[in-house]
Amino acid sequence: MRKLKVWFGLTSILLILLGACAPAAFEKGSTLICPKDYDPASSKCTVRLSAEETYDALTSQELPAVRLGVDEVGVYRVNAEEYGIYEGVGYHPTPSDYVRVYTRQQIHIVSDIDPNACGGTYNDFNCVKALSNVTLKGYQKFGASYALDVSLDFSSQENLRLLYEVGGAAQLMVKFNDRSRDTLRDSTDIDPQKYISGEMKRPDVAAIWLEKLEKSKYMTDWQYFRLFKFEDLAVRYFEPEKSDSGDSGSSSQVLEDQEFQDFLHRRDLFCAQYEIGTSLRAECERTFVCSESNQVCYFGGAIIPIDQLPTATPTTTP
């Protein structure tokens, strides 16, 4: 009897293991039969109707269809010049590798020293580290954290093209966070003494920052800027950075700080002859950023060859 119980036990375990190894149940719409050399601008796929359906492996291939969740949008290429969007929960008849998935929901980005404040893990999407090395007037450094709400604009063919080419929500938000955080770090228009004295408070900083994100040339010249609608920004923490000699800050953060400070000093030297806040100063600073990336630069409407860019103050009259 004991041997019989052992045999039944082993048989049960074997059946469970075999069941775990069995192929997943076929889901209608989940699999597509596509041309061997799939081209998103011209190829057409058909939905595989059953697990038993066969196809010519010499000319065709089996690819997974894109699946969208609640409030998700799939941007795909209709033809060489036109883009479209899929909406609705479930499968859609285009291979998942050729659809860029985004959300229609508002994206809530939280910057905080503690990742538990925004989900438990930093992800470069909507949970990012606190903002260090925020440089204010007089080059005084502050530490900060914030919450930013943005939404995406799907209203034009140009926007759909950009959304398709950038590759999806994760790739886009990494670029956005890098660009927006650099914009906020350059806050030399904010007087730290007014904040320390209480004349300026966090909502005032938030208003200045939101305007910087919406109107600064560094943001508006960015090719993906048009994709974003800025909904709200709140400053969670904004205080002078501590200069504790016992703090063993990471070498990468120290290097980042040194590079950013050097950038600001070189920019101010480059544009020293133009008053801060004027349109000429803004154009000069834009030209300086351009010169840093070894591109063809403009100043005063004229092209400036890289080898003729000034090393101190601009010499071209706007």
> 136-180: per-residue pLDDT in tens?
999 999 999 999 999 999 999 999 999 999 999 999 999 999 999
Structural domain range at position 39: 25-65
CA distance 274 to 315: 12
Per the domain annotation, does 45 fall within a domain?
yes
- Residue 215 falls within a domain, yes or no? yes
Instruction: Assess whether pLDDT exceeds 60 at residue 3.
Output: no
Write the pLDDT tens digit of every residue in 18-29. 444 445 577 888
pLDDT at 244: 52
- Look up the pTM and report it: 0.69
- Would 200 be classed as within a structural domain? yes
Q: Write down the pLDDT at residue 4.
A: 39
**Does 274 or 44 have the greater pLDDT score?**
44
Q: Is residue 30 part of a domain?
A: yes
Residue 243 has pLDDT above 70, yes or no: no
Per-residue confidence (pLDDT) for residue 299, from 0 to 100 = 65
Q: Which residue has the higher pLDDT, 141 or 265?
A: 141
Whole-number pLDDT of residue 248: 42
**Total domain count, the chain:** 4
Residue 277 counted as domain residue: yes
| Higher per-residue pLDDT: 189 or 11 | 189
Asked if the structure places residue 37 within a domain, the reply is yes
What is the per-residue pLDDT for 318? 38
User: Do both 229 and 277 map to the same domain?
Assistant: no
